[in-house]
């Protein structure tokens, strides 16, 4: 596997994992009523997702230029990581919103 592809794959795995962790921390913060902290963690998650997207774009650019990558289990795993992170981030945003609404309603 080419070094550039391995770097992009590892970028997806690391940033996807970090994005998911930050999103989970946002839920935990909202659960305790720390909505500023929750919003900061969601923003941090978004930043990690942007970095992951940049890694993915690098891989797609290489493919579009005719530099075909051999699909490996590691490459598939990296895509799985980023898709799970995106889904988890979206759901975390909804959970934080629910906690905010409950707090606003006095419950």
Q: Which residues are annotated as a binding site?
A: 80
* Whether 8 contacts 56, CB under 8 Å: yes
Whether 77 is catalytic: yes
Catalytic annotation, pick one of 53, 68, 77, 81: 77
Active-site residues, by number, are 77
């Amino acid at each position: 596997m080419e070094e550039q592809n391995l770097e992009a794959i590892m970028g997806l795995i690391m940033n996807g994992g970090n994005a998911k962790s930050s999103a989970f921390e946002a839920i935990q913060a909202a659960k305790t009523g720390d909505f500023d902290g929750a919003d900061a963690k969601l923003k941090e998650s978004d930043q990690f997702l942007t970095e992951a997207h940049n890694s993915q774009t690098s891989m797609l650019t290489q493919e579009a230029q005719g530099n075909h990558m051999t699909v490996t289990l590691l490459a598939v795993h990296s895509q799985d990581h980023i898709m799970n992170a995106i889904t988890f981030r979206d759901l975390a945003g909804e959970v934080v919103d629910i906690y905010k609404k409950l707090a606003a309603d006095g419950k």
